[in-house]
Amino acid sequence: MIRLLSAELFRLELHARMPFRYGIATMTDVPQIIARLTFELDGAMETGLAADLLPPKWFTKNPTRALGEEIDEMLRVIRAAIGHARILRAATPFAFWHELCGAQAEWAAAEKLPPLLSNFGTSFVERALLHAVCRARRATLAQALRENIFGVDLGWAQPALRGVAPGDFLPADPPVEIFARHTVGLSDPITAGDLAAGERVDDGLPQTLDEVIRFYGQRHFKIKINGEAARDCDRLARMAAVLAAEGGGGFAFSLDGNESFHDVPSFADYFRRLQSEPALRALWPRLMYVEQPWHRAVALSPAIGELARAWPDRPPIIIDESDAELASLPAALALGYAGTSHKNCKGVFKSVVNAGLLAQRRAAGRPAVLSGEDLGNVGPISTLQDLAAQAALGVTSVERNGHHYFAGLAQFPRALQEHAVRRHPDLYVAAAQAWPRLDLRDGKLAIGSVNAAPFGVPGEVELSEIAGETLG
């Protein structure tokens, strides 16, 4: 039997080394929340961790609300999920999760909160539970999923998966390295000429796109667009020149539409214009997919299906923000989308279900994309758990942006810095300033130590230097 015994939340205020503009928001300061939950697992006690930034404007995309109000609301859904979890009793981790999903969804509907936001709270409890179970069973996340230690019932989640087990489609051996797909934000400098006086960051890390490629050997990229064709064409042309000059032609990229298009035909017209630009022609053979170009208000509307039928040579398009519930991916696939993204903040079990659906689609010879995207993962918990989940799902190209917008682990307590370097010497390295950073080489991250740890995080993590609260 599983039950939640106690919960603590720790809050660390982080400052970005350079502004990160994504969609309608620009991140400069943001809190990271670390949850430490203690569970009773079949009569024994075990503790698990979960962590994430609280990024305003991603879960709701409401331009009129104050940033502080949105941060408070994210904390509210995390606390609500912990409160709901306290009264649950379940035989398996998966059963605990789907009972929690139901309780949180009922509460969120009464509070008029969207599923993407409310499930963020659910995911905190889920991740801490998975970590606790992996610790208790001395298992890695990939092993626990393949051997179904969590009791995953795919048929309950999707009737099309009845009789299918996670081990039937998840990789027998998770990848030991992944491509880190470098994010190019909407206002990020491409070359030094884009930096105004006083904008240069002097911390030993690269700042402009060309510097990033030289420093890390980046080969995979995620480029954000905002739907302004003239502006996007100019920036993409300048990026294409840098990628050709610095990347040696061996690069790949995704486009993130940031929900910029509010009617269905507009994106097709926009994309065709980009394709017609001579300066951009060398890009399109390198395009992996386009992520969520349409606003969530229209992204799963019947008009998408009509457009898909009228646009047979469209690029692969996936949902991201619209992937809020278990029913989201099947609805998207029926409309002509090629897949979805994994982010731990949307839920690990949900992505396992999605991976099963996409494996069936792939076996039928149809396009099937499960991408890895980032929500500013930074720090020795959220980054580790995200990489562990991506590897367990078989994702080999993952957007990584936390190490670029934040100066490594410089803002984390010394104990967490030392834990990262000592426990993950293949992933972290001491920077010139003595704080650790991701050891990104040839555009890849080595994650053997992540795969070998219980849900990516080995041993005990010291949190006493971070302000915390115990939830009653």
Query: Backbone dihedral region of 443: left (phi > 0), alpha (psi from -120 to 50 degrees) or beta?
Result: left
Q: pLDDT digit string (tens) for 101-124? A: 999 999 999 999 999 999 999 999
Instruction: Give the model confidence (pLDDT) of 69-88 as tens digits.
Output: 999 999 999 999 999 999 99
Q: What is the pLDDT of residue 342?
A: 98
pLDDT over 90 at 430, yes or no:
no
The tens digit of pLDDT for each residue in 136-185 reads: 999 999 999 999 999 999 999 999 999 999 999 999 999 999 999 999 99
β-pair type (44-53, 444-446): unpaired
Residue that is written with structure tokens 């809020």 in the block:
324
Specify the CATH architecture of the domain 2-164. Answer: 2-Layer Sandwich (3.30)
For 167-458, CATH number out of 3.40.50.300, 3.90.1520.10, 3.20.20.120, 1.20.1260.60 equals 3.20.20.120
Q: How far is CA 207 from CA 182, 201, 226, 371, in A?
A: 12, 7, 21, 25
Residues with Cβ within 8 Å of 285's Cβ and at least 6 positions away in sequence, in order, are none
Where do the structural domains in the chain lie, given as residue ranges?
Answer: 2-164, 167-458
pLDDT category at 248 given cuts 50, 70, 90 is low
Rounded to whole angstroms, how far apart are CA atoms 245 and 210?
A: 9
The per-residue pLDDT for range 175-220, each reduced to its tens digit, is 999 999 999 999 999 999 999 888 999 999 999 999 999 999 999 9
Cα–Cα distance, 461 to 442 (Å, whole number)? 30
Tell me the backbone φ, ψ of residue 132, rounded to 5 degrees: -60, -45
pLDDT for the residue 472 = 66
